[in-house]
Chains A and B, each alone.
Chain A
Amino acid sequence: MAEIAVAPRAWGGRAGLLAWLQEYGVYASVLALLLFNVVFTPHFLEVANFRTQLIQVAPVVITSLGMALVIGTEGIDLSVGSVMALASAMVVLYLGYGAPVAIVAALIAGAAIGAGGGALVAYVGVQPIVATLALLVGVRGLANVLVPQLTEFRNPTLITLGSRSVLGLPLVVIIAAALTVLIGFLVKRTTLGRQLVAVGGNRAASRLSGLPVRRVLVTVYLISGLLAAVAGVLATSRLQASDPTSLGLLMELSAITAVVVGGTPLTGGRVRVLGTVMGALLIQLLQATLIKHNLPQSWTQMVQAVIILAAVYAARGRRA
Chain B
Amino acid sequence: MTTTIAGADTSADARRRPGGLRRERIGHLLQHHGALMVLAVTVVVGAVAFDSFATPQNAANIVVSSSFLAIVAIGMTFVIISGGIDLSVGSSFVLAGVLAAYGSRYGLLVALLLPLAVCGAIGLVQGLIVARTGMAPFIVTLAGLLGMRGLMLAVSGEGANTYLVQNDAFSALGQTSILGLTVPVWITLGLVLLGGVLLQRTSFGQNVYAIGGSEEAAVLMGVPVTRVKVVVYLISGSLAGLAGALNAARLSSGVTILGAGMELDVIAAVVIGGTLLTGGAGGLTGTMAGVLLLGVIQSLINQIGVLTSSFQQVVSGAFLALVVVMQRILHRAQRLS
Contact = CB atoms under 8 A, between A and B. Distances in A.
Given A134-B324, A312-B139, A316-B135, A144 B149 contact: no
Contacts of B1: none
A131 interface: yes
B147 interface: yes
Contacts of B321: 120, 131, 134-135, 138
B99 to A, nearest CB: 14
Contacts of A78: 264
B168 interface: no
A47 interface: no
Contacts of B332: 125
B2 interface: no
Interface in A14-32: none
Contact of A305 (B147, B264, B328): B147
A316 B134 contact: yes
B309 to A, nearest CB: 8
A309 B277 contact: no
B271 A130 contact: yes
B317 A126 contact: no
Contact of B138 (A126, A129, A304, A316): A129
Interface residues of B, number: 46
B133 interface: yes
A300 B316 contact: no
Contacts of B308: 144-145, 148
B314 A142 contact: yes
A101 to B, nearest CB: 25
B196 interface: no
A127 B253 CA distance: 38
A141 B313 contact: yes
B29 to A, nearest CB: 21
Contact of A141 (B85, B151, B314): B314
A138 B277 contact: no
A312 B135 contact: yes
A145 B311 contact: yes
Most A CB atoms within 10 A — which of B133, B278, B313? B313
A316 B29 CA distance: 41
A301 B146 contact: yes
Contacts of A297: 150, 153, 158
Given A256-B142, A305-B144, A316-B134, A127 B278 contact: yes
Given A135-B321, A142-B313, A305-B150, 4 more contacts: A126-B325, A141-B317, A297-B153, A304-B150
22 contacts: A76-B138, A120-B324, A124-B324, A125-B332, A126-B324, A131-B321, A134-B324, A135-B317, A135-B321, A136-B317, A141-B312, A141-B314, A144-B310, A266-B136, A297-B150, A298-B151, A302-B146, A302-B151, A308-B142, A308-B146, A312-B136, A313-B135
